[in-house]
Structure 1
Amino acid sequence: MPQLNPDPWLFILSFTWLTYIIIIQPKISSYLPTNIPHKNNKTTNTNPWAWPWI
């Protein structure tokens, strides 16, 4: 059964994870968002929904 042969897939998996760890992950970690959300101190008045079938 050829799908049990780990020779090509092990290399592909290893290469993919090495690429992610060495190249992509530091780029993602250094990302700083430009639109930082601020805390909104306004309180909203919420009313419970009146279900007509209850």
Structure 2
Amino acid sequence: MPQLNPNPWLFIMIISWLTLSMIIQPKILTFVSTNPPSSKIHTTPSTTPWTWPWT
């Protein structure tokens, strides 16, 4: 069965992986902007407990 022969497919997989990781990935990562850390102080909202009519 030719599908089980790793000789051509292993080389193609390694070349594809190297192309992706060395050439394409850095170009894509330049377009992705991460959210900068916020300098706002995180405050928790004050909540009041719900009064259930049946308790």
TM-score with structure 1 setting the length: 0.56
- What's the offset of the Cα at 1:11? 0.4
Q: Which runs of 5+ in 1 are unaligned?
A: 34-54
Q: CA RMSD in A?
A: 3.3
SS at match of 2:31: coil
Are residue 27 (structure 1) and residue 27 (structure 2) matched? yes
1:1-54 counterparts in 2 under 5 A? 1-31=1-31
Larger Cα Rg: Structure 1 or Structure 2? 2
SS at match of 1:31: coil
Sequence identity (%): 61
Q: Which runs of 5+ in 2 are unaligned?
A: 34-55
Distance 1:32 1:6 in 2: 36
TM-score with structure 2 setting the length: 0.55
Distance 1:5 1:32 in 2: 39
- What's the offset of the Cα at 1:20? 0.2
